[in-house]
Amino acid sequence: MVLRTSPAAMTADKPVTLRVGDRTFTTIKSSLTGESDFFAALLSGRWDNALEDGSYFIDADPDMFQHILNYLRRGVFPLFYDEAKGFDYARYVSLLAEARYFQIRRLESWISNKGFLDAIQVIRTTQIHDDAPPVDVTSANTTVTYDVAWATRKVYICPRWILEHRGHREKCGRRCHNARNGANDHEEEIYPRFSVTKKVVTFQPSNCVAPEPEAVGDTDGLNPGLL
């Protein structure tokens, strides 16, 4: 690998210590500079901006910085989602500000384009039953809600209002039919049905992984045309 001889490559795996608020993070230079223009400039060696012990002070919230570092290390977008509360938009807004500060374009556009919405798929289906449905055993990602759904239907009415004949024209005899006198033989009635709504929440991990960066850090400082 000829590229390994480039000066940038030789220092790419050098440990870097960052002081963020009251916490200290240690990582390698290539993790930080791969996608962040902020760290590429900070660690370029052009400025003497390290503290006396060689670490760097970063003015950021350490809890939020942990997500930034996780992203820079592995390229996995953070998922701030809770099944009961849904997405944590406030946290994404904070992370967006950090992504802008550290100049991480892909993370910034993923949040601004609400890419996180594709990470969780929610499918809702509702079925209506005439009889009480059996209670389902479901997996942990499925919520089942049982409800009453009122419906209307036409029902046959007996002209003599004999309850037993209601809904059963065949039970009415001649005396019933003679009593009809042209009156309506149907009426609408409201009746309860059972509605079962299933909500299935599925995590789509592939939508949280950033595609491989096009540029390879090893070619820093080298003109690819000369290789």
27-36 contacts at long range (C-beta below 8 A, 24 or more positions apart): 27/69, 27/72, 27/73, 30/217, 31/69, 31/72, 31/73, 32/72, 33/217, 34/72, 34/213, 34/217, 35/72, 35/104, 35/105, 35/106, 35/107, 35/213, 36/72, 36/102, 36/103, 36/104
Residue 172 Cβ vs Zn ion, minimum distance, rounded to whole Å: 3
Asked if 29 interacts with Zn ion (CB under 5 A), we say no
The HSE-up count of residue 162 (CA atoms within 13 Å, CB side) is 14
Residues 83-102 close enough to bind Zn ion by CB under 5 A: none
Question: Closer CB to Zn ion, residue 62 or residue 167?
Answer: 167
Q: To the nearest whole angstrom, how small is the minimum distance from the Cβ of residue 151 to Zn ion?
A: 25
CB-nearer residue toward Zn ion: 91 or 169: 169
Q: For residues 50 and 176, which CB has a smaller minimum distance to Zn ion in the complex?
A: 176
Output 28 or 176, the one with its CB closest to Zn ion. 176
Site for Zn ion in 138-167 (CB under 5 A): 158, 162, 165
> Of residues 165-204, which lie at the interface with Zn ion (CB under 5 A)?
165, 172, 176
Q: Which residues bind Zn ion (CB under 5 A)?
A: 158, 162, 165, 172, 176
